[in-house]
């Protein structure tokens, strides 16, 4: 039996409509939610996409912030294409994209760039984090679970290849009805990074 963690309640603070337009021309509209009472005090966001109000089991992706990938289109990781894919799929199904302010698997932006420098010397993404004194993955989904509870989304379909996300959310009282994988966004620049994800954390990616 899983031990469930008692969470302090968070509340919706504001909801504002934001039209989105991506670099490839894809457009949709998001209801962007802010919150009070999030456990770590950070400014996490939830984007309500598509008919999220009418979907009793919303499609949800917790996306951890990646400045280089999300904003600048860095090809060292697959975050940008994952974010783009997730927004369209959630808009189609109705659900929420949780934009979590935990850069670099929770180690921060500067440390992530330091880890890139070590990777250029031959370490993989996890070994580089450990060489800097960090754990493989320091991400925590407490705030994600608090946001889902505040949005009334206690039961969700999860969009992820990362088994740790579902396991953490279930411990935090979110029922995962189903887990759907995201596509593989493989490029010459991120192949080594994606292989490390599969080998170290059981990400459900099929790489040739
Ligand atoms: Zn990234």
What would the pLDDT profile of 13-45 be if each residue is shown by its tens digit?
Answer: 999 999 999 999 999 999 999 999 999 999 999
User: What is the pLDDT confidence band of residue 60, given thresholds at 50, 70 and 90?
Assistant: very high
**Whole-structure pTM value:** 0.89
Give the pLDDT score at 183. 85
Collect residues with CB below 5 Å from ion ligand 1. 66, 69, 77, 79
Q: What is the mean pLDDT of the chain?
A: 91
Residues in the chain, how many?
A: 208
Give the pLDDT score at 149. 97
pLDDT over threshold 80, residue 193: no
Which residue out of 11, 139, 154, 164 is catalytically annotated? 139
CA 69 to centroid of ligand 1, rounded, Å: 5
Quick one: DSSP state of residue 103?
G
pLDDT over threshold 60, residue 114: yes
- pLDDT tens digits for range 129-163: 899 999 888 889 999 999 999 999 999 999 999 98
Q: What is the mean pLDDT of residues 104-110?
A: 89
Q: What is the mean pLDDT of residues 92-104?
A: 96
Residues 6+ apart with CB under 8 A from 133: none
Closest CA to 35 of 104, 105, 103, 96: 96
Domain 11-102+139-197, second-level architecture: 3-Layer(aba) Sandwich (3.40)
Give the pLDDT score at 126. 86
Q: Is 154 a catalytic residue?
A: no
Q: Is 137 a catalytic residue?
A: yes
In angstroms, the CA 5 to CA 150 distance is 16
Give the pLDDT score at 112. 93
| Token pair 């969009």: residue | 159
User: What is the pLDDT confidence band of residue 1, given thresholds at 50, 70 and 90?
Assistant: low
CA 195 to centroid of ligand 1, rounded, Å: 14
Residues 6+ apart with CB under 8 A from 142: 5, 7, 39, 40, 172
How do the domains of the chain map onto residue ranges? 11-102+139-197
CA 54 to centroid of ligand 1, rounded, Å: 32
Q: What is the mean pLDDT of residues 72-97?
A: 95
């Amino acid at each position: 039996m899983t031990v469930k963690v008692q969470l302090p309640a968070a509340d919706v603070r504001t909801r504002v409509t934001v039209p989105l337009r991506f670099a490839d021309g894809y457009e949709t509209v998001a209801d962007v939610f802010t919150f009070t009472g999030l456990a770590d005090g950070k400014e996490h966001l939830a984007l309500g996409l598509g008919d999220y109000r009418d979907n009793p089991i919303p499609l949800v992706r917790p996306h951890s912030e990646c400045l280089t990938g999300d904003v600048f289109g860095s090809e060292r990781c697959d975050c940008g294409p994952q974010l783009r894919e997730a927004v369209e799929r959630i808009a189609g199904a109705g659900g929420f994209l949780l934009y979590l302010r935990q850069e670099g698997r929770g180690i921060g932006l500067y440390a992530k760039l330091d880890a890139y420098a070590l990777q250029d010397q031959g370490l993989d993404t996890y070994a580089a984090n450990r060489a800097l004194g960090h754990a493989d993955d320091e991400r925590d989904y407490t705030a994600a679970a608090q946001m889902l509870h505040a949005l009334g989304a206690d039961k969700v379909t999860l969009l992820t290849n990362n088994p740790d996300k579902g396991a953490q959310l279930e411990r935090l009282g979110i029922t995962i009805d189903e887990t759907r994988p995201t596509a593989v966004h493989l490029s010459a620049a991120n192949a080594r990074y994606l292989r490390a994800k599969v080998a170290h954390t059981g990400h459900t990616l099929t790489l040739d």
